[in-house]
Chain A
Amino acid sequence: MSADSSEMLEQFAAETQQHLDEIEPILLQAEWAPLDKAAIAALFRGFHSIKGLARVLGLRGLETLAHHAESLLAEVRSERKPLNAEFQTLLLDALDGIRSLREQGIVGGVDAPAPRALIAALDAAIRAGAQDGTTSAAAPSAPSAVEGMLHDDMPTLIYFAEMLGECLPNLAVLVGGEGDSDQAEDDLESLIIAVERLQLNGLRADLQRLGDASRAEVADCLAAVLAKARRFGRLIDCDVKAEPALDAAAEALGARRQTLARQLLEAMRGGAAGAAEAAGIARRLIALAAAGLADGGIAVLAHQALDDPALLEPALAAVSLLASPLEGDGTDLMALAAERLRDALAGPRTLAPALAKLLEERGVVPARLGQIDASTIAQLATILEGGRRQLLGVTVSLPATADRAELLSWLARRLLPVSSQVVSLLDIDAAALLAVGTEDPVALRAEILAAFPDLVLIEVKTLSDQTADHPWATPRAQGNASVIVPVDNQVRVPVEILDRLFGRIGEFFSISSALNVLMVDSQVPAVLHRLAEHVVSKAPALLPSIDILQRQQSDLAQVEAEVHRLVSLIHEATLGLRVIPLDIVFNRFPRMIREFAKAQGKQIRFEARAEGIKVDKGMTELLADPLMHMLRNAVDHGIEPPEVRAVAHKPPVASIRLSAVQHGNRIIVEIRDDGRGIDGERVRRRAVAQGLVTESDSLRLSKDQIHRFIFTPGFSTAETATETSGRGVGMDVALINVSRLGGRIDIQTVPGQGTTFRLDMPLSAAMQTVLLAETTMQTVAFPERMVVEASTVTRDAVQYVNGQRAILLHDRFLPLFVLTDLLKLPIRPEERQSRDLPVIVVTSGRFRYGVEVSRILRRHEMLIRETHPRIAQLPGIGGVSTLGTDRIVLVVDPEGLTELALGAVVPGMRSAPHAAE
């Protein structure tokens, strides 16, 4: 293979991979929510691009398959067919087929044929419904296929637009404008013939009316024709040149508006008796506005104001402007009057800043709620009153048509929703309601299920800061598959090259840090100072030399500081280069869950939300495995089979939610399922059976401690191993990897209701700010987030409270532990006798305690290196790093150290830590 063709192949591999990565998450998203136009266009574009790339390499099989997928999407894009579950599966199959053909093309240079059965299935899907005449199997690019076109012959429509442009100005003579009336009649006739052919029957009726109109009606009829002509032009995106026609007829139309406005004023003053008449006149005024006669929007506003007597005064004021000739064009005055009327109509429609902010925090976009009127605002504003009022999102599947009304009106009465809409989940119609209430979601869910036990799907949640995945969020936040817009000004760099660069910059940074340590720890300035003092009295002749040394030392310090600053900046910037969207990891899972769920006969609604968070590439590598294991576990052990769910009165469709949120420099990843929860007793018994703990000890463990046995290597409660999990491999890997990232895993589980695994990790695992301290033999780094303060107390200050060493700090007893005791580090005994006692006060969770070290060094930015799993497993140690070039530093794991400290608390003090808060 020539260099050129190998380069082409590389390019093909990279670009097709990118399209495949874009297509799959969008397709999977379609399972739960209808795709918008942009998403369907992105799918279409993806398959289309793959087709083009395959053609360039002569991979006919791949080209054929991509073409068929593209053609099916063309049907969807033009709204001739919906993207239903059958199409989704077909397209996913096509995607798999494309992957396989692509692989064969790249690895073996083979142009394998497209699978026949798949092509036949795609063909059948494309052709389905074409015979009944309601749809056509046109080629993807045929413009006539656009749904809802006024006519299927676009050139004829454009020709008609040009014809309107020529004829309309000539019609002004019918209302007394200048021109040839014979010409006008000819033009009118031509237009009528044309619209008959185009079957624009509404416009035809108006044109015929214009031809037959009496003098009194003719202006209204012309306005109606102009209005429809303008709409026609806008719909087919062609200029029908309505302006010249409007100008030619301006005088007559303006006069007509005055007359109509005067009639409207009279009818409005006539009260209820004139109501019907007023509405009719207002509609004629609207037609004049639609024809292009500027009125600042007064006509449409007046039409709306007719029903409300309270609006009579501003409405009269606005309409009276139209009733009299205005100086100049009067647009300013009309706009002012319209504005006043608009305000009066709308009432207090603006959201208070606090409410707007709260909605924004909950991911609610006001525009997606429907109409925001005063009552909606009042209802939403009650959340601001505090207490337990919250935004509740309730989604329930809809039963058969005949039973819907009962369910919907029950929900309306019970919840008084702010907004309701239909959503489609797994091809099931559901109603999504947004309400304000104090209900506990679990209790509300139970209440709804008690009233309607046959619901297939139900979800009740509080819209908290972390949920942006609801129908009232921006479309971008709703899906995990945001459409990726290709950007031209990007350079594709293989990650290996970046990694090499990062490696070197990392080394450079380490050396710079070593230099910094040398400078900071340097004894030179102090020695020079003492030397200078000595020289002044004993050898003044050497003073200039000392001066030179001091100056150079100072210059060196300055240059070093500048170098360190710049290297840090470069390092920081490269860390930024390494970040990639967490979506890349999350997007692997929907398909996996779908397959696992299918294999086990479970129906699972899986949602993954990465909220656009970007993380270090190293972090994604370490996270992918833990998440996969935990999700497999959720499918396998968490989610019950449908029959078990039915017995427990749970909807058959289960839910697994994978979400990530960023809090400052930490990232919280949650895996939440609504399955059976962890059976603590069963875990305890298995732990005893597997010899992990004795029966008697196990009975003393807290629930949380028992749950944590699932992270023990080889632990499994499953009686039989399945294809996906149950072999006791996985959760330990999850814990190790998360520990390596400097994070921790918490478990929250409610029997029968589900389990949440919460992974809490520092966002930039690579760089951490730490407080350096020393034991007698080892340098130890305390991550800054756990340090409350560093202090030195005298050894005499140590007291014993119920046998527990403690110091009195800020009027509180603080339990005190020796770091070397907790971490079981070796010590040189003689060093522990100094009078001063350096203490680092640390906190984790609700426990605050003191850690005794030999010496407190300084705050430091540290690059935490990947840790060997064996070290990561050491209790209390989260990682290692180096200081300068040779000093190895142990990095403390805050939660691990705290667990050790809690274990070491003398029993009498057990209640003290919380009391100390």
Chain B
Amino acid sequence: MPLKLVLIAFEPVLHDLLAERLCELFHIVGAPRGPDEALKLVRTIAADVLLVDADLPNGEAGDLVAKLSLVGQLPIIALSADAAPGGTGRAALLLAGADAVLAKPAGPLPLSLDGRLGDLLESALREAAAA
């Protein structure tokens, strides 16, 4: 039985890339396209883990993660372009309630999820769901 994943990435291009990479390994049970929809879904949905793209065009990335952690009970993996080790972006996401933060290697749009980033993503989601 594949793990159930809620995929929150409002940027459609990245959303499709992530969905394509993860759909065979996880059962994507929800993919909201806006903050309202995301909060509504996370309040009620039964899933194992939540993946959120924290690079929002407007607003603080930490805020969305904080809201998701308040309204839902899923482990949260945040993906961010501003998550260099030791940086404030990563710290903000962890303090906001993310269980793990993965850094996008170069800018907000990872061009390929076939390599290392895809593997890291997969293992982080599995570990968080197991914990």
Which one of B59, B71, B99, B107 contacts A420 once the chains associate, using CB atoms below 8 Å?
A: B107
Residue of chain A at shortest CB distance from B91: A300
Known contacts: A134-B36, A148-B35, A148-B36. The answer to whether A371 contacts B109 by CB under 8 A is no
Check A371 against B87 for contact (C-beta < 8 Å).
Answer: yes
Residue of chain B at shortest CB distance from A38: B58
Check A203 against B84 for contact (C-beta < 8 Å).
Answer: no
Number of contacting residues on A, CB 8 A? 65
Q: Is A891 in contact with chain B by the CB < 8 A criterion?
A: no
Known contacts: A227-B97, A411-B111. The answer to whether A370 contacts B69 by CB under 8 A is no
Check A373 against B84 for contact (C-beta < 8 Å).
Answer: yes
Q: Is B70 in contact with chain A by the CB < 8 A criterion?
A: yes
Check A409 against B112 for contact (C-beta < 8 Å).
Answer: yes
Which one of B69, B86, B95, B127 contacts A304 once the chains associate, using CB atoms below 8 Å?
A: B86
Q: CA of A149 to CA of B109 in the docked complex: distance in angstroms?
A: 27
Check B69 against A346 for contact (C-beta < 8 Å).
Answer: no
What residues of chain B lie closer than 8 Å to A228, measured between beta carbons?
69-70, 97
Q: CA of A79 to CA of B57 in the docked complex: distance in angstroms?
A: 11
Which one of B71, B82, B105, B108 contacts A199 once the chains associate, using CB atoms below 8 Å?
A: B71
Which one of B20, B36, B57, B99 contacts A405 once the chains associate, using CB atoms below 8 Å?
A: B20
Check B91 against A297 for contact (C-beta < 8 Å).
Answer: yes
What residues of chain B lie closer than 8 Å to A793, measured between beta carbons?
none
Check B71 against A201 for contact (C-beta < 8 Å).
Answer: yes
Contact flags A611-623 to B (C-beta < 8 A → 1, else 0)? 0000000000000
Known contacts: A205-B73, A409-B112, A431-B13. The answer to whether A370 contacts B106 by CB under 8 A is yes
Check B69 against A420 for contact (C-beta < 8 Å).
Answer: no
Q: Is A222 in contact with chain B by the CB < 8 A criterion?
A: no
Q: Is A812 in contact with chain B by the CB < 8 A criterion?
A: no
Contact flags A283-312 to B (C-beta < 8 A → 1, else 0)? 100100110000001001101100000000
Check B69 against A398 for contact (C-beta < 8 Å).
Answer: no
Q: CA of A640 to CA of B84 in the docked complex: distance in angstroms?
A: 46
Give the residues from 84 to 121 in chain B that come closer than 8 angstroms, CB to CB, to chain A.
Answer: 84-87, 89-91, 94-97, 99, 103-112, 114
Minimum CB–CB distance for A129 against chain B, Å? 11
Give the residues from 341 to 361 in chain A that come closer than 8 angstroms, CB to CB, to chain B.
Answer: 341-347, 349
Check B63 against A235 for contact (C-beta < 8 Å).
Answer: yes
What residues of chain A lie closer than 8 Å to B37, measured between beta carbons?
134
What residues of chain A lie closer than 8 Å to B99, measured between beta carbons?
283
Residue of chain A at shortest CB distance from B36: A147
Minimum CB–CB distance for A122 against chain B, Å? 23
Q: Is A276 in contact with chain B by the CB < 8 A criterion?
A: yes
What residues of chain A lie closer than 8 Å to B70, measured between beta carbons?
150, 200, 202-203, 228, 231-232, 235
Interface core residue of A283, A422, A433 (most chain B CB under 10 Å): A422
Residue of chain B at shortest CB distance from A204: B73
Residue of chain A at shortest CB distance from B12: A429
Q: CA of A149 to CA of B83 in the docked complex: distance in angstroms?
A: 25
Known contacts: A150-B39, A290-B97. The answer to whether A345 contacts B13 by CB under 8 A is no
What residues of chain B lie closer than 8 Å to A280, measured between beta carbons?
131
Q: CA of A228 to CA of B65 in the docked complex: distance in angstroms?
A: 11
Q: CA of A34 to CA of B38 in the docked complex: distance in angstroms?
A: 22
Contact flags B55-68 to A (C-beta < 8 A → 1, else 0)? 00111000110111
What residues of chain B lie closer than 8 Å to A341, measured between beta carbons?
86
What residues of chain B lie closer than 8 Å to A419, measured between beta carbons?
106-107
Q: List 16 A-B contacts (CB under 8 A).
A: A148-B64, A148-B67, A201-B73, A227-B97, A228-B97, A231-B69, A232-B70, A234-B66, A341-B86, A349-B84, A369-B107, A372-B84, A404-B13, A405-B17, A409-B112, A433-B111
